[in-house]
């Protein structure tokens, strides 16, 4: 009972802090719009969205992943670090002091550069690996545009006309960081890891871009605000993912929303798999698989290694944010959007509406982050040839079929209802395939034989996954 109470208190605290952060972002944005100049709130959004929400969540994920991996593997998580203050020195505080020790270790550890390395390229590698990932969130709206103190406040840093194309372009720059880190180290093992990382990222970028074409055709735009959509009035339907495919009549709007996960479930699976492979996390962590290869940043130490490590967790947050905006309605509720937006108190205090919907956005992001951690510690690492086959022989053909099917159905039925029926059928088929797996006769014996065969060829099961230096450090998980 005490553990359940602790979890409930933690969940309430997270929701409260997120709501407080969104309320502060809107109120501060309204103040700077009133006293500075029009559009000044975009500058404060850099502080709140990118530096506070994304960076703080990514930092806490370094601990959350270790706690979640310990829970899955039925072992003690990080609990050794203590704060030497009265009343605290004998408390583990949920392992949070480990975040402080990790930061201090990286900031104070000696910065070593190999004597034969290219110093300029060696120092530039971590920056190119971290900066593009950090900049991706600039175009993701984390809340609606509302009136605060008589001024319009947008909860996004930038809204370029090219929208999602910016995400694809900036994400591809991370390839240069990994390739440069492996080559500039003048280490054959690092070079091999860099080549693996580069080839893997390039192969999945093709499927990544193709998975979004169906979404572009559906909403006739590549801009995030147009795809997320605006809430309609009581007399009219909304736009983008805020519209309803089918809805009931009445003051409270209830129906099936046009979310990307419903009208493009195949596109979602392709996008999520391809972007997950782009982050180079298990089961796609071949560039840094300790059991068979040394990673491309093997020569890096101190804060340079820290940039590679934290960029991985920033990628997790950004991937969850982009996926939420494209396929899960962004900051919209599944129903009741119009009723909520037309309440007198929401009309009078726009920041309150923004706070509620912005908190909904970040709760969706946290859910997708949890899904990524679940995948990370559930599936064993793929072989390299399997990863390449998945990208070129499976994801790419399925993406082409999805584009042709989406284009045909949008031309046939612009209301998107035919596309939604196909999407619901695909979701139903996926549920059936994943819940009705039958074990063949002698399956246990065959599975045992296959397991042994995999180990004989350098494979491994989920139970003997190596602990990553940036995921679950042995010193903090015993």
For 49, residues 6+ apart whose C-beta sits below 8 A from its C-beta are 25, 137, 142, 155, 156, 157
Q: What is the pLDDT of residue 473?
A: 40
**Residue 15 burial (CB < 10 Å; 0-12/13-18/19+)?**
middle
Rounded to the nearest 5 percent, the helix, strand and coil shares of the chain are 65, 5, 30
Give pLDDT tens digits for 131-170: 888 889 999 999 999 999 989 999 999 999 888 999 999 9
Distance CA 76, CA 63 (A): 13
85-98 average pLDDT score? 83
pLDDT by residue (tens digit) across 196-210?
888 888 889 999 999
Give the C-alpha separation, 179 to 175, whole Å. Answer: 6
Query: Is the pLDDT confidence value at 86 over 90?
Result: no
Q: What's the pLDDT at 442? A: 53
Tell how strand 255-257 and strand 244-247 pair up. antiparallel
Predicted local confidence at residue 45, as pLDDT: 93
Question: Residue 440: its pLDDT value, please?
Answer: 56
Q: What is the DSSP letter of 222?
A: -
Pair type for strands 151-155 and 143-148:
antiparallel
Please report the DSSP string for 4-26 in residue order: HHHHHHHHHHHHHHHHHHHHHHH
Q: Show the tokens assigned to 52.
A: 């506070």
Stated as kind and residue range, the H or E segment containing 153 is strand 151-155
pLDDT surpassing 50 at residue 32: yes
**Residue 129 · residue 304 · CB < 8 Å:** no
* Cα–Cα distance, 379 to 462 (Å, whole number): 6
Task: Report the alpha-carbon distance of residue 242 to residue 227 in Å, rounded.
Answer: 9
- SS3 track for 436-469: CCCCCCCHHHHHHHHHHHHHHCCCCCHHHCCCCC
Q: What is the Cα Rg of the chain in Å? A: 24
* Confidence band of 230 (pLDDT split at 50, 70, 90): confident
Share of the chain above pLDDT 90, in %: 51
pLDDT attached to residue 331: 95
pLDDT tens-digit readout, 342-364:
899 999 999 999 999 999 999 99
Q: How confident is the model at residue 192 (pLDDT cuts 50, 70, 90)?
A: confident
**Closest alpha carbon to 313 in 61, 117, 139, 74:** 61
Average pLDDT of the chain, as a whole number: 85
- Cβ–Cβ < 8 Å for 380, 374: no
Q: Average of pLDDT values for 47-54? A: 93
Q: Give the residue-averaged pLDDT of 406-414.
A: 94
Per-residue pLDDT reduced to its tens digit, 57-76: 999 999 989 988 888 888 88
Residues with Cβ within 8 Å of 174's Cβ and at least 6 positions away in sequence, in order, are: 128, 129, 132, 133, 201, 278, 311
Residue with tokens 């493009």: 264
Q: Per mean pLDDT, which of 36-40, 252-256, 368-372, 375-379 is the most reliable?
A: 368-372
DSSP string of 334-347, one letter each residue: SS-HHHHHTSHHHH
Q: Span 248-264, mean pLDDT?
A: 90
Q: What is the pLDDT of residues 97-133, one digit of tens each?
A: 889 898 898 889 888 899 899 999 999 999 998 988 8
49 or 233, which is more confident: 49
Per-residue pLDDT at 470 exceeds 50: no
Residue 255, number of CB atoms within 10 A of its CB: 15
Placement of tokens 């930092």 in the chain: 59
Q: Are 346 and 276 in contact (CB under 8 A)?
A: no
Cα distance between residue 241 and residue 198, in whole Å: 34
Longest dimension (CA), the chain: 75
SS3 147: strand
Triad 326, 141, 360: Cα angle to 5° = 80
Q: Are 377 and 68 in contact (CB under 8 A)?
A: yes
**340: pLDDT confidence band, cut at 50, 70 and 90?**
very high
268: confidence class by pLDDT, cuts 50, 70, 90: very high
**Would the pLDDT of 81 be above 90?**
no
Q: How confident is the model at residue 474 (pLDDT cuts 50, 70, 90)?
A: very low
3-class DSSP state for residue 154? strand
pLDDT at 472 over 60: no
Token pair recorded at residue 330: 């962004």
Nearest of 369, 376, 363, 378 to residue 329 by alpha carbon: 363
Look at residue 330 in the predicted model and tell me its pLDDT. 94
Where do the DSSP E strands lie in 163-260?
A: 244-247, 255-257
pLDDT of residue 236: 57
- Which of 60, 213, 53 lies closest to 138, judged by CA? 53
Give the per-residue pLDDT at 469. 38
pLDDT, residue 290, reads 63
Region 302-317: what's the mean pLDDT?
A: 91
Structure tokens at 299: 């020569």
Tokens 């840094």 identify what position? 288
Residue 258: pLDDT over 90: yes
Distance, CA of 195 to CA of 197 (rounded, Å): 5
**For residue 438, what pLDDT band results from cuts at 50, 70 and 90?**
low
Dist. CA 437–CA 157, nearest whole Å: 46
pTM above 0.85, yes or no: yes
CB 177 within 8 Å of CB 127: yes
Residue 407's pLDDT is: 95
């Amino acid at each position: 009972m005490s553990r359940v109470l602790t979890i409930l208190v933690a969940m309430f605290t997270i929701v409260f802090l997120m709501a407080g952060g969104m309320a502060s972002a809107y109120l501060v944005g309204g103040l700077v719009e009133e006293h500075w100049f029009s559009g000044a709130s975009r500058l404060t959004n850099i502080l709140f969205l990118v530096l506070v929400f994304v960076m703080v969540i990514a930092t806490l994920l370094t601990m959350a992943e270790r706690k979640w991996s310990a829970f899955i593997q039925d072992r003690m998580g990080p609990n050794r670090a203590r704060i030497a203050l009265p009343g605290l020195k004998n408390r583990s505080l949920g392992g949070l002091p480990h975040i402080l020790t990790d930061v201090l270790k990286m900031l104070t550890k000696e910065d070593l550069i190999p004597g034969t390395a290219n110093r300029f390229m060696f120092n530039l590698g971590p920056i190119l690996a971290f900066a593009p990932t950090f900049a991706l969130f600039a175009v993701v709206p984390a809340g609606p545009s509302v009136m605060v103190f008589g001024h319009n406040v947008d909860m996004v840093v930038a809204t370029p006309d090219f929208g999602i194309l910016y995400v694809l372009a900036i994400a591809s720059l991370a390839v240069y960081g990994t390739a440069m880190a492996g080559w500039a180290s003048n280490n054959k093992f690092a070079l091999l890891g860099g080549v693996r990382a580069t080839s893997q990222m390039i192969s999945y970028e093709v499927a990544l871009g193709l998975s979004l074409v169906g979404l572009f055709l559906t909403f006739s735009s590549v801009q995030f605000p147009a795809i997320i959509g605006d809430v309609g009035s009581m007399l009219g339907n909304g736009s983008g993912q805020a519209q309803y495919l089918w809805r009931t009549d009445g003051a409270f709007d209830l129906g099936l929303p046009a979310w990307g996960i419903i009208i493009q479930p195949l596109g979602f699976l392709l996008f999520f798999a391809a972007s997950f492979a782009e982050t180079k996390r298990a089961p796609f962590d071949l560039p840094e698989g300790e059991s068979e290869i040394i990673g491309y940043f093997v020569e890096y130490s101190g804060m340079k290694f820290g940039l590679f490590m934290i960029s991985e967790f920033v990628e997790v947050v950004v991937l969850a944010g982009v996926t939420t905006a494209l396929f899960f309605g962004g900051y919209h509720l599944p129903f009741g959007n119009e009723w909520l937006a037309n309440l007198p108190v929401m009309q009078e205090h726009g920041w309150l509406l923004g706070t509620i919907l912005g908190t909904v956005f970040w709760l969706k992001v946290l859910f997708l982050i949890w899904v990524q951690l679940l995948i990370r510690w559930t599936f064993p690492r793929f072989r390299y040839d399997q990863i390449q086959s998945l990208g070129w022989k499976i994801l790419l053909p399925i993406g082409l079929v999805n584009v042709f099917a989406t284009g045909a159905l949008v031309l046939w039925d612009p209301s998107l209802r035919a596309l939604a029926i196909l999407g619901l059928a695909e979701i139903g088929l996926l549920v059936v395939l994943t819940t009705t797996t039958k074990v063949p006769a002698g399956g246990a014996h065959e599975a045992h034989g296959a397991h042994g065969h995999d180990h004989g060829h350098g494979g491994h099961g989920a139970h003997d996954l190596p602990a990553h230096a940036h995921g679950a450090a042995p010193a903090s998980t015993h």
